[in-house]
Amino acid sequence: MTVHPFVRSIGAQHPRVRDLLALRKDGSPGRIMVEGTWEHDRLLTTTATIEAFFWCPEASPEAGAADVDRIVDRATEVYRISEKLLARLSRKTRSDGLISIARVLEWRPQTFRFTSRSLVLVADGVEYAGNLGTLIRTADAANADCLVLTSRRARPTHPAVYSASRGTVLSTPIVEFDDIPSAAAWLRSHRFRVHLADPAATGTYRVPQYDGPTAFVVGSEGSGLSRAWHDEGFDAVSIPMLGQADSLNVALSAGILLFEARARKEGW
């Protein structure tokens, strides 16, 4: 590895270590902890700023020198840490000694422009970081314009979101609204046809034509959609349950809905 002018060894009392420990727990607005080889490979394909890189050479024999060099060259600050400190910082059972703090883009509602092909996923009250990450990955896979968050519980910058999203949290536009009426008004202002995902709905998701800007709203894992979304007067759609279960996982439901609409829009 080439020598980087800012590489230096640090211990447990360094301010950056305390910063990383806070991120390790729940993330923070605009910043996320990234750990692992494939996670950094994905990070390097984006334009995200690498604020700090923590490297334990003893724990990363599989990381090639060229790969480490690429991370070092992108990072604003680079630190070498011991195996003992790595064990304290890592979220993995077996860490490969690569941890970064990356910046996450912040998106504003007024920056978006939509067309009849536009597709938006709204996640209301999602509780678990893993599910939120999978929803982000699903929105990316269906080429959705953005993910909208209302009544947020899981933080998009939780480290588990990065893994579950396969890193797409860095490239998928995410917009958060303080309240449901504001989100609903924003969707109406852009002429979206909004469909609430509700297992109790009588109409199935196969009925709508999805021929204009389309948004689906999915609810939390435990209690479903907030009453406030139903109060907005939007249509509800369901995915028929043919077995004994009364509903599907929220991310699986979102995938079925998004890909049905995308197929209609693209003429698959």
Residue-level pLDDT at 241: 87
238: tokens are 């369901």
Which residue type occupies 107? W
Give CA–CA dist 185/195, Å, rounded: 14
Looking at the fold, whether 215 and 230 belong to one and the same domain comes out as yes
Residues 59, 150 within the same domain: no
* One domain, residues 73 and 187: no
| Mean per-residue pLDDT, 120-131 | 95
- Give residue 62's pLDDT: 61
How high is the pLDDT of residue 1? 45
What are the backbone angles phi and psi of residue 72, rounded to the nearest 5°?
-60, -45
Residue-level pLDDT at 28 = 87
* Residue 186 predicted with pLDDT over 50: yes
Whether residue 182 has pLDDT greater than 90: yes
pLDDT tens digit string along 23-66? Answer: 998 888 899 999 999 999 999 999 999 999 999 988 876 655 66
Are β-strands 214-218 and 193-197 bridged in parallel, bridged antiparallel, or unpaired? parallel
149/216 Cα distance (integer angstroms): 12
165-183 mean pLDDT = 97
Q: What is the pTM of this model?
A: 0.91
Question: Which of these three, 76, 103, 130, is where a domain ends?
Answer: 103
Q: Tell me the CATH number at 187.
A: 3.40.1280.10
34 and 53 Cβ atoms separated by less than 8 Å: no
Containing structural domain, residue 148: 109-266
Does residue 255 sit in the same domain as residue 132?
yes
Tell whether 82 and 29 lie within a shared domain. Answer: yes
Structural domains of the chain, count: 2
Beta bridge partners of 7: 78
pLDDT value at residue 261: 97
2 within domain boundaries: no
CA dihedral over 176, 47, 6, 60, signed as positive or negative: positive
Residues 201 and 123 grouped into a single domain: yes
Q: Domain check: are 139 and 205 in the same one?
A: yes
Per residue in 193-248, pLDDT tens? 999 999 888 889 999 999 999 999 999 877 789 999 999 999 999 999 899 888 78
Taking 50 as the threshold, does the pLDDT of residue 141 lie above it? yes
Q: Are residues 133 and 248 in the same domain?
A: yes
